Chains A and B, each alone.
Chain A
Amino acid sequence: MKKFWRKLVKNKLFFLTFVFFFTTLSAQEKSIDQNQIFKNLRCLVCQGQSISDSNSDFAQTVKLVVNDLIEEGKTEEEIYSFMAEKYGDWIIYRPQLNKQNFMLWFLPYAFLIGGGLIIFYLIRKKREKA
């Protein structure tokens, strides 16, 4: 009987710990950092400033709209899509992958792999000679 209770307590503890971590993780996933969004949106009427840095009228209004969208339950990606739809990709500092910019995303990897292959080949050739 003692064994049974010990096992139950152990299992319960395990279960509670699991629930705690799971809820914390899912809460983290759900919560949106509005400052992160403001930092990733460009102030279109300023010189090189994000919405977060700017006190312009435009930036203040965008902040209100972003807050409304967060309250409506929109995800970070949905908010960026919404703003890009209205103002074009230019408003997002970290643009989403699309037909126009796919080279920008994949070329560094292509260069890295290509460069790696060249280095690998050169080293092998040098070893063979030695």
Chain B
Amino acid sequence: MQRLIKSTITIIFIFIIIIFYISLGKENNYDTVNLVGKKIDSIELQSFNDEKIVNTKSFKDNNFTLINFWASWCGPCRAEHPILMNLKESRSLMLVGVNFKDKKKNAKNFLDDLGNPYDILLKDENGKKSIIFGIYGIPESILLNKELVVIEKFVGPLAKEDYEKILEEIGEK
């Protein structure tokens, strides 16, 4: 019995050490890994320029769709803008911009200054729709395939590596 107790205590001790080792080495920040591979919900968003309502189901018409969440007040959005302008040239990619909690006038000035890369421009005035997309800050971008399954999710401004990755995913590299 003494031996059993000793070995039980040793096993528990080793188990606790393993748990600490795994847990302390784990990244505790929010990641988007579990969103990749999931189909997005049917979400309705209002057009930026008029009262028209656009449903995400309509993105099925495109081979690939990149939904980019942006705002004129967001500095990193300005930084990623040249990459979006480059992506505009892509033939199989539909670029959808969702203007997030922004003033229409400021958003318009932003696009006038830097260019409008979006094929479809939508708005999310109170940010509620963005929560349904799993967005927690901007800029963020979601790459979808024809079945509306998330292929990739980019948190933060798109970098050159992300640009390469998108071209690779859509088969234009």
Contacts and interface: CB of A to CB of B under 8 A. Distances in A.
A91 B135 CA distance: 13
Interface stretch (A3-11, A17-25, A29-37, A61-69): A61-69
A86 B134 contact: yes
A114 B7 CA distance: 13
B34 A88 contact: yes
B136 A45 contact: yes
A18 B63 CA distance: 61
A111 B9 CA distance: 11
Contacts of A90: 28, 30
B131 A62 contact: yes
Determine the main DSSP class of A at the interface with B.
helix
- Which of A85, A86, A121, A125: most chain B CB closer than 10 A? A86
A57 B127 contact: yes
B126 A118 contact: no
Contacts, number: 46
A127 to B, nearest CB: 14
Interface residues of A, number: 21
Contact of A44 (B30, B126, B127): B30
B130 A61 contact: yes
A57 B28 CA distance: 21
A121 B1 contact: yes
B137 interface: yes
B124 to A, nearest CB: 10
Interface of A: 44-45, 57-58, 61-62, 64-65, 68, 85-88, 90-91, 111, 114, 118, 121-122, 125
Given A64-B127, A88-B31, 4 more contacts: A45-B136, A57-B127, A68-B128, A90-B28
